[in-house]
Amino acid sequence: MEIIRNRPSRAQALPIDGAGSDIQAGAVIMPGVTDETDRSVFIKATSAGADSFGLLAELHDTSVSGDADPEAGTIYPLRQIVPFLPGCEVAAEMAIDTSNDVDVASATSTVITVTSLEDDIEGSWIYVSSGTGVGQVGYIKASASGSFTLKSAMTTTLDNTSKLIIMRPLCWQLVELDSTATKIKSTAAAGNLPWRVLANEIKIPGSELWVPLDPTKHHNLQLGSAVPGLRQILVPANTFHNPLD
Protein backbone atom coordinates (compact mmCIF):
# COMPACT_ATOMS: atom_id res chain seq x y z
CA MET A 1 0.00 0.00 0.00
CA GLU A 2 0.98 3.63 -0.41
CA ILE A 3 -0.26 6.91 1.04
CA ILE A 4 -0.91 9.08 -2.04
CA ARG A 5 -2.47 12.25 -0.60
CA ASN A 6 -1.65 14.22 2.55
CA ARG A 7 1.60 12.28 2.72
CA PRO A 8 3.39 13.10 5.99
CA SER A 9 6.82 14.68 5.57
CA ARG A 10 8.59 11.94 7.52
CA ALA A 11 8.14 8.48 8.96
CA GLN A 12 8.34 7.67 12.66
CA ALA A 13 10.59 5.04 14.23
CA LEU A 14 8.48 2.71 16.39
CA PRO A 15 8.99 -0.72 18.02
CA ILE A 16 7.67 -3.65 15.95
CA ASP A 17 6.66 -7.19 16.89
CA GLY A 18 6.18 -9.62 13.99
CA ALA A 19 5.37 -12.59 16.26
CA GLY A 20 8.24 -14.54 14.73
CA SER A 21 7.41 -13.65 11.12
CA ASP A 22 8.61 -10.96 8.72
CA ILE A 23 6.31 -8.02 7.96
CA GLN A 24 6.44 -6.65 4.43
CA ALA A 25 7.02 -3.02 3.58
CA GLY A 26 3.67 -1.37 2.85
CA ALA A 27 1.81 -3.41 5.48
CA VAL A 28 -0.79 -1.73 7.68
CA ILE A 29 0.50 -1.47 11.25
CA MET A 30 -1.64 -1.26 14.39
CA PRO A 31 -1.04 -1.17 18.17
CA GLY A 32 -0.55 -4.55 19.82
CA VAL A 33 -3.57 -5.94 21.64
CA THR A 34 -2.29 -8.85 23.78
CA ASP A 35 -1.26 -8.26 27.39
CA GLU A 36 2.36 -9.16 28.26
CA THR A 37 3.11 -9.97 24.63
CA ASP A 38 2.68 -6.96 22.34
CA ARG A 39 0.47 -4.49 24.20
CA SER A 40 2.99 -1.62 24.21
CA VAL A 41 4.48 -2.09 20.73
CA PHE A 42 3.15 -2.23 17.14
CA ILE A 43 2.13 -5.25 15.07
CA LYS A 44 0.87 -6.17 11.59
CA ALA A 45 -2.80 -5.22 11.38
CA THR A 46 -5.54 -7.81 11.58
CA SER A 47 -8.39 -7.74 9.05
CA ALA A 48 -10.24 -5.15 11.14
CA GLY A 49 -7.15 -2.93 11.47
CA ALA A 50 -8.32 -1.53 14.81
CA ASP A 51 -6.82 1.93 15.44
CA SER A 52 -4.31 1.36 12.63
CA PHE A 53 -1.29 3.65 12.88
CA GLY A 54 0.11 3.73 9.35
CA LEU A 55 2.14 1.85 6.75
CA LEU A 56 5.43 0.08 7.38
CA ALA A 57 8.05 1.87 5.28
CA GLU A 58 10.66 -0.92 5.38
CA LEU A 59 10.83 -4.69 5.76
CA HIS A 60 10.74 -5.98 9.33
CA ASP A 61 13.11 -8.95 9.13
CA THR A 62 12.83 -10.97 12.34
CA SER A 63 15.85 -13.14 11.43
CA VAL A 64 18.03 -10.01 11.57
CA SER A 65 16.61 -7.97 14.44
CA GLY A 66 14.17 -10.20 16.31
CA ASP A 67 10.84 -8.90 17.61
CA ALA A 68 10.15 -6.27 20.22
CA ASP A 69 9.79 -7.93 23.64
CA PRO A 70 7.85 -5.57 25.92
CA GLU A 71 7.57 -8.13 28.72
CA ALA A 72 11.32 -8.66 29.15
CA GLY A 73 12.42 -5.30 27.80
CA THR A 74 15.49 -6.89 26.21
CA ILE A 75 14.74 -6.48 22.47
CA TYR A 76 13.44 -3.27 20.97
CA PRO A 77 13.84 -3.07 17.17
CA LEU A 78 12.57 0.15 15.63
CA ARG A 79 11.06 0.42 12.15
CA GLN A 80 9.98 3.42 10.09
CA ILE A 81 6.19 3.78 9.86
CA VAL A 82 4.41 6.40 7.74
CA PRO A 83 1.39 7.45 9.81
CA PHE A 84 -2.22 7.82 8.67
CA LEU A 85 -3.08 11.44 9.38
CA PRO A 86 -6.67 12.74 9.18
CA GLY A 87 -7.76 13.16 5.57
CA CYS A 88 -5.04 11.02 4.00
CA GLU A 89 -5.81 8.71 1.08
CA VAL A 90 -4.30 5.26 0.52
CA ALA A 91 -3.83 3.39 -2.76
CA ALA A 92 -4.29 -0.31 -2.02
CA GLU A 93 -4.01 -3.01 -4.67
CA MET A 94 -6.43 -5.93 -4.69
CA ALA A 95 -4.92 -9.32 -3.85
CA ILE A 96 -5.34 -11.47 -6.97
CA ASP A 97 -4.63 -15.04 -5.87
CA THR A 98 -6.42 -18.20 -4.82
CA SER A 99 -6.36 -17.26 -1.13
CA ASN A 100 -8.21 -14.01 -1.72
CA ASP A 101 -10.84 -14.71 -4.35
CA VAL A 102 -14.58 -15.53 -4.20
CA ASP A 103 -16.26 -18.66 -5.60
CA VAL A 104 -19.17 -18.49 -8.02
CA ALA A 105 -21.89 -20.98 -7.00
CA SER A 106 -23.87 -20.73 -10.26
CA ALA A 107 -24.52 -18.25 -13.04
CA THR A 108 -26.75 -17.25 -15.91
CA SER A 109 -25.64 -14.78 -18.56
CA THR A 110 -26.28 -11.82 -16.23
CA VAL A 111 -27.14 -13.12 -12.72
CA ILE A 112 -24.26 -14.49 -10.64
CA THR A 113 -24.93 -16.42 -7.44
CA VAL A 114 -22.29 -16.20 -4.71
CA THR A 115 -22.95 -17.92 -1.39
CA SER A 116 -23.17 -15.49 1.56
CA LEU A 117 -22.80 -12.41 -0.66
CA GLU A 118 -23.81 -9.26 1.19
CA ASP A 119 -26.69 -7.14 -0.09
CA ASP A 120 -26.73 -3.74 -1.78
CA ILE A 121 -23.29 -3.75 -3.43
CA GLU A 122 -24.49 -2.42 -6.77
CA GLY A 123 -21.81 -0.25 -8.34
CA SER A 124 -19.16 -2.85 -7.51
CA TRP A 125 -16.78 -4.39 -10.04
CA ILE A 126 -15.76 -7.98 -10.63
CA TYR A 127 -12.69 -9.44 -12.31
CA VAL A 128 -12.73 -13.15 -13.19
CA SER A 129 -9.34 -14.28 -11.91
CA SER A 130 -9.59 -17.96 -12.91
CA GLY A 131 -11.96 -20.61 -14.27
CA THR A 132 -14.56 -20.08 -16.96
CA GLY A 133 -14.53 -16.51 -18.25
CA VAL A 134 -11.05 -15.74 -16.90
CA GLY A 135 -9.85 -12.23 -17.71
CA GLN A 136 -13.31 -10.63 -17.96
CA VAL A 137 -14.20 -7.43 -16.12
CA GLY A 138 -17.82 -6.74 -15.19
CA TYR A 139 -19.93 -3.99 -13.60
CA ILE A 140 -22.65 -4.86 -11.07
CA LYS A 141 -25.85 -2.91 -11.71
CA ALA A 142 -28.00 -4.55 -9.01
CA SER A 143 -27.51 -6.90 -6.08
CA ALA A 144 -29.36 -8.90 -3.48
CA SER A 145 -28.26 -11.09 -0.61
CA GLY A 146 -26.51 -14.00 -2.32
CA SER A 147 -26.49 -12.76 -5.92
CA PHE A 148 -25.84 -9.83 -8.21
CA THR A 149 -26.85 -8.74 -11.70
CA LEU A 150 -24.34 -7.57 -14.29
CA LYS A 151 -24.90 -4.51 -16.49
CA SER A 152 -25.26 -6.87 -19.47
CA ALA A 153 -24.17 -10.34 -20.49
CA MET A 154 -20.43 -10.77 -20.84
CA THR A 155 -18.84 -12.58 -23.75
CA THR A 156 -18.40 -15.80 -21.76
CA THR A 157 -21.05 -16.87 -19.24
CA LEU A 158 -19.56 -17.79 -15.88
CA ASP A 159 -20.08 -21.09 -14.05
CA ASN A 160 -19.13 -22.76 -10.77
CA THR A 161 -15.46 -22.95 -11.78
CA SER A 162 -15.20 -19.16 -11.99
CA LYS A 163 -13.33 -17.27 -9.27
CA LEU A 164 -13.90 -13.56 -8.68
CA ILE A 165 -12.12 -10.51 -7.38
CA ILE A 166 -14.82 -8.15 -6.07
CA MET A 167 -14.18 -4.41 -5.63
CA ARG A 168 -16.78 -2.72 -3.44
CA PRO A 169 -18.46 0.44 -4.83
CA LEU A 170 -17.63 4.08 -4.25
CA CYS A 171 -18.58 5.38 -0.78
CA TRP A 172 -18.59 1.84 0.67
CA GLN A 173 -17.41 1.85 4.29
CA LEU A 174 -16.06 -1.68 4.88
CA VAL A 175 -13.26 -3.52 3.07
CA GLU A 176 -10.95 -6.35 4.14
CA LEU A 177 -7.18 -6.68 4.52
CA ASP A 178 -5.42 -9.76 3.19
CA SER A 179 -3.17 -11.84 5.45
CA THR A 180 -0.08 -9.74 4.65
CA ALA A 181 -1.94 -6.48 5.48
CA THR A 182 -0.51 -5.02 2.26
CA LYS A 183 -3.51 -5.56 -0.06
CA ILE A 184 -7.30 -5.71 -0.08
CA LYS A 185 -8.97 -9.12 0.02
CA SER A 186 -12.12 -10.03 -1.91
CA THR A 187 -14.94 -11.31 0.30
CA ALA A 188 -18.53 -12.42 -0.20
CA ALA A 189 -19.66 -11.29 3.25
CA ALA A 190 -19.07 -7.80 4.60
CA GLY A 191 -15.50 -6.80 5.40
CA ASN A 192 -14.13 -5.66 8.77
CA LEU A 193 -11.84 -2.74 7.92
CA PRO A 194 -13.72 0.59 8.30
CA TRP A 195 -12.12 2.41 5.37
CA ARG A 196 -14.09 4.43 2.82
CA VAL A 197 -13.86 3.66 -0.92
CA LEU A 198 -13.10 6.75 -3.04
CA ALA A 199 -12.24 5.10 -6.36
CA ASN A 200 -11.77 1.78 -8.12
CA GLU A 201 -8.92 1.78 -10.63
CA ILE A 202 -7.40 -0.55 -13.22
CA LYS A 203 -3.96 -0.72 -14.83
CA ILE A 204 -4.29 -2.47 -18.18
CA PRO A 205 -1.42 -4.89 -18.91
CA GLY A 206 1.22 -3.07 -20.94
CA SER A 207 0.28 0.33 -19.51
CA GLU A 208 1.85 2.17 -16.58
CA LEU A 209 -1.25 4.30 -15.94
CA TRP A 210 -3.96 3.70 -13.36
CA VAL A 211 -7.38 4.77 -14.68
CA PRO A 212 -10.77 4.87 -12.91
CA LEU A 213 -13.04 1.97 -13.79
CA ASP A 214 -15.89 3.27 -15.93
CA PRO A 215 -19.00 1.16 -16.69
CA THR A 216 -19.31 2.80 -20.13
CA LYS A 217 -15.76 1.71 -21.03
CA HIS A 218 -14.69 -1.27 -18.95
CA HIS A 219 -17.75 -3.52 -18.54
CA ASN A 220 -17.10 -6.74 -20.51
CA LEU A 221 -13.43 -5.83 -20.94
CA GLN A 222 -11.66 -8.98 -22.19
CA LEU A 223 -8.11 -9.43 -20.86
CA GLY A 224 -7.65 -13.17 -21.33
CA SER A 225 -4.57 -14.46 -19.51
CA ALA A 226 -3.08 -10.97 -19.03
CA VAL A 227 -3.55 -10.07 -15.36
CA PRO A 228 -4.37 -6.39 -14.72
CA GLY A 229 -3.54 -4.25 -11.76
CA LEU A 230 -6.63 -3.50 -9.67
CA ARG A 231 -6.62 -1.04 -6.80
CA GLN A 232 -8.87 0.98 -4.55
CA ILE A 233 -8.31 4.51 -3.33
CA LEU A 234 -9.35 4.46 0.33
CA VAL A 235 -9.75 6.89 3.20
CA PRO A 236 -8.67 5.20 6.47
CA ALA A 237 -11.18 5.60 9.29
CA ASN A 238 -10.93 4.95 13.04
CA THR A 239 -7.14 5.23 12.99
CA PHE A 240 -4.62 5.91 15.77
CA HIS A 241 -4.42 9.62 14.91
CA ASN A 242 -8.12 9.95 14.08
CA PRO A 243 -9.98 7.53 16.40
CA LEU A 244 -13.49 8.59 15.40
CA ASP A 245 -15.35 6.62 12.71
Q: Average pLDDT for residues 214-234, to the nearest whole number? A: 97
* pLDDT tens-place string over residues 109-143: 999 999 999 999 999 999 999 999 999 999 999 99
* Closest C-alpha to 58, from 91, 22, 89, 86: 22
- Is the pLDDT reported for residue 203 higher than 90? yes
Residue 85, CA atoms < 13 Å, CB-side half-sphere: 10
**pLDDT-based confidence at residue 23 (cuts at 50, 70, 90):** very high
**pLDDT-based confidence at residue 244 (cuts at 50, 70, 90):** confident
Where are the chain's structural domains? 2-85, 93-235
Collapsed DSSP state (helix, strand, coil) of residue 232 = strand
Residue 71 to residues 12, 46, 62, 204, 212: CA-CA distances in angstroms? 23, 22, 17, 49, 47
In the prediction, which pLDDT does 35 show?
Answer: 77
**pLDDT-based confidence at residue 219 (cuts at 50, 70, 90):** very high
In the prediction, which pLDDT does 209 show?
Answer: 95
**pLDDT-based confidence at residue 245 (cuts at 50, 70, 90):** low
Q: What is the CB neighbour count within 10 angstroms for residue 20? A: 9
Q: Average pLDDT for residues 188-198, to the nearest whole number? A: 95
In the prediction, which pLDDT does 74 show?
Answer: 80
Q: Average pLDDT for residues 184-207, to the nearest whole number? A: 96
Q: Average pLDDT for residues 147-155, to the nearest whole number? A: 97
In the prediction, which pLDDT does 59 show?
Answer: 93
List, in order, residues 6 or more apart from 128 with CB less than 8 Å away: 134, 135, 136, 137, 138, 158, 162, 163, 164
Q: What percent of the chain has pLDDT over 90?
A: 81
Dihedral (CA of 200, 121, 3, 101) sign: negative
Q: Average pLDDT for residues 175-186, to the nearest whole number? A: 96
- Is the pLDDT reported for residue 229 higher than 70? yes
Q: Average pLDDT for residues 208-237, to the nearest whole number? A: 96
